[in-house]
């Protein structure tokens, strides 16, 4: 496991890079974390008990819960998740006093510092809730219909909101990326050789130039995708805006490092995590991953398999597998089996050693995306 970052470039706010020298489970872990587990500053709409949005006046056509959900979808451009966000409150109070439809947008947001009882400057608020860089327009929250008579006033929306920390695994509104994907790195030499063989066969069958061109397009759309460089992945990342693209990748690797740190601590301090397998598998042990899934489990499984498993007698394990019973069950299982009877202490040692190996890999990746001081 020798991770290498290459072809790193950023164009049109889209980051692309190549990660090579690692198993697919490592690439998938980074992608999964970018999509669902990077913490960011949010305005929380649900569950009700922890909602940080308080609507006091709403005469619009939308009910409070719909408005809360829309407010929660607004990205908060505060990239320091350790900042004293509890000191601030967002205030909005807008009534349509015109004779045409008006809108409540993020341009109407005011932010008060509760410690000084003063409002942040307009430039500071715009940095936290900026307009769209392409249209230069602000995010719409809802429309306010106008006064229709002397007795019926225009619609009004008044609410306050405070900040919290969340991530997309809790609610899709808190996502930090609009694109986070990878593909196997194509092998151009293998593709060219394969197409040369296919083309030769087509010509021997009497196909004309037009037919061959059609088959070539079909080949490059489908068959060519199966010819790739082993353990090499081409990533594409596009941020929503709270963090830079580089920072998103950096933070995702550190989320994985935190997972590994907690995993090491858990297996060494909680004896209930490791138990003997209640199956026909001889000398088997089950390692329970509480609150974790494929992101951590498949990476650990790969290291255990790579370092300790063999089909002959050269390594201690003759079975190694990962399983998540159900998406709604917040735990997963790694099952291993030894060739000979073994102690739980040896299982702990193997797991800690595997976690340390993973820490080196993800720290190496993180170093290539570390923000400039």
User: What was the pLDDT predicted at 373?
Assistant: 62
Tell me: do 198 and 152 sit in the same domain: no
Is omega for the bond preceding 165 within 30 degrees of 0, making it cis?
Answer: no
Q: What are 48's two structure tokens? A: 């009700």
pLDDT digits (tens, 9 = 90+) for 202-238: 999 888 989 999 999 999 999 999 999 999 999 999 9
Tell me: do 148 and 89 sit in the same domain: yes
* Secondary structure E strands in 75-193: 88-95, 102-105, 110-113, 118-119, 140-144, 156-162, 164-166, 177-186
Tell me: do 216 and 292 sit in the same domain: no
Q: Is residue 371 part of a domain?
A: no
Cβ neighbourhood burial of 252 (10 Å; 0-12, 13-18, 19+): buried
DSSP of 103-131: EEEGGG-EEEETTTTEEPPHHHHHHHSPP
Tell me: do 97 and 195 sit in the same domain: no
User: What was the pLDDT predicted at 372?
Assistant: 72
Tell me: do 101 and 149 sit in the same domain: yes
Q: Residue 332's domain is classified under what CATH number?
A: 3.30.1360.10
Tell me: do 272 and 220 sit in the same domain: no
pLDDT digits (tens, 9 = 90+) for 13-66: 999 999 999 999 999 999 999 999 999 999 999 999 999 999 999 999 999 999
Tell me: do 56 and 161 sit in the same domain: yes
Do the beta carbons of residue 170 and residue 224 sit within 8 Å? no
Q: Is residue 313 part of a domain?
A: yes
User: What's the mean per-residue pLDDT of the chain?
Assistant: 94
- Whether residue 367 is predicted with pLDDT greater than 90 in this model: the reply is yes
Q: Residue 78's domain is classified under what CATH number?
A: 2.170.120.12
pLDDT digits (tens, 9 = 90+) for 159-178: 999 999 999 999 999 999 99
Q: Is residue 16 part of a domain?
A: no
Query: How many Å apart are CA 36 and CA 53, to the nearest integer?
Result: 22
CA nearest to 352, candidates 281, 294, 269: 269
- Whether residue 254 is predicted with pLDDT greater than 90 in this model: the reply is yes
Residue 99: domain span: 41-174
Tell me: do 86 and 200 sit in the same domain: no
Beta strands 177-186; 274-276: pairing state = unpaired
Q: Is the dihedral of CA 21, 22, 27, 33 positive or negative?
A: negative
Q: Which whole number is the average pLDDT over 81-100? A: 94
Tell me: do 50 and 170 sit in the same domain: yes
Tell me: do 275 and 341 sit in the same domain: yes
Q: Is residue 74 part of a domain?
A: yes
Q: Is residue 231 part of a domain?
A: no
Residue corresponding to tokens 């489908």: 222
Q: Is residue 72 part of a domain?
A: yes
Confidence of residue 313 (pLDDT cuts 50, 70, 90): confident
- Whether residue 106 is predicted with pLDDT greater than 70 in this model: the reply is yes
User: 187 CB contacts (<8 Å, ≥6 apart)?
Assistant: 227, 228, 229
Beta strands 14-20; 228-239: pairing state = antiparallel
Tell me: do 75 and 166 sit in the same domain: yes
Q: Which whole number is the average pLDDT over 111-139? A: 95
Query: How many Å apart are CA 17 and CA 5, to the nearest integer?
Result: 7
- Whether residue 154 is predicted with pLDDT greater than 80 in this model: the reply is yes
User: What was the pLDDT predicted at 223?
Assistant: 92
> How many structural domains is the chain composed of?
3
Helix (H, G, I), strand (E, B) or coil at 80: coil
Please tell me the pTM assigned to this model.
Answer: 0.91
Q: Which whole number is the average pLDDT over 275-298? A: 94
Q: Is residue 9 part of a domain?
A: no
Q: Is residue 35 part of a domain?
A: no
Share of the chain above pLDDT 90, in %: 90
Tell me: do 205 and 132 sit in the same domain: no
In this structure, the chain runs to a length of: 373
Share of the chain above pLDDT 70, in %: 100
């Amino acid at each position: 496991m020798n991770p290498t970052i290459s072809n790193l470039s950023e164009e049109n706010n889209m980051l692309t890079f190549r990660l090579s020298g690692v198993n697919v489970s490592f690439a998938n872990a980074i992608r999964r974390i970018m999509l669902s587990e990077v913490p960011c500053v949010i305005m929380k709409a649900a569950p009700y008990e922890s909602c940080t949005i308080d609507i006091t006046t709403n005469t619009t056509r939308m009910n409070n819960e719909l408005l809360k959900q829309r407010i929660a979808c607004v990205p908060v451009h505060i990239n320091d998740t350790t900042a004293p966000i509890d000191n601030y409150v967002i205030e909005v109070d807008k009534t349509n006093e015109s004779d045409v439809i008006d809108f409540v947008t993020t341009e109407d947001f005011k932010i008060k510092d509760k410690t000084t009882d003063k409002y942040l400057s307009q430039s500071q608020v715009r940095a936290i809730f900026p307009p769209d860089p392409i249209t230069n327009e602000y995010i719409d929250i809802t429309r306010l219909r106008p006064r229709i008579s002397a007795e019926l006033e225009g619609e009004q929306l008044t609410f306050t909101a405070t900040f919290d920390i969340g991530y997309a695994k809790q609610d899709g509104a808190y996502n930090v990326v609009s694109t986070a994907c990878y593909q196997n790195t194509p092998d151009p030499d293998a593709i060219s050789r394969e197409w040369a063989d296919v083309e030769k066969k087509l010509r021997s069958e009497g196909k004309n130039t037009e037919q061959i061109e059609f088959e070539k397009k079909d080949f490059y759309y489908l068959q060519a995708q199966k010819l790739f460089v082993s353990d090499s992945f081409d990533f594409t990342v596009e941020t929503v805006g709270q963090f830079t693209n580089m920072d998103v990748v950096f933070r995702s690797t550190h989320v994985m490092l935190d997972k590994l740190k907690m995993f090491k601590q858990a297996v060494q301090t909680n004896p209930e995590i490791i138990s003997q397998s209640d199956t026909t598998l001889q000398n088997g042990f089950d390692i329970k991953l509480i609150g974790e899934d494929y992101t951590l489990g498949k990476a650990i499984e790969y290291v255990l398999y790579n370092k300790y498993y063999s089909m002959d007698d050269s390594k201690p394990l003759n079975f190694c597998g990962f399983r998540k019973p159900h998406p709604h069950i917040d735990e997963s299982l790694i099952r291993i089996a030894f060739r000979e009877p073994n102690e739980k202490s040896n299982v702990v040692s193997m797991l800690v050693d595997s976690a340390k190996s993973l820490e080196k890999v993800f720290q190496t990746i993180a170093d290539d995306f570390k923000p400039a001081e």
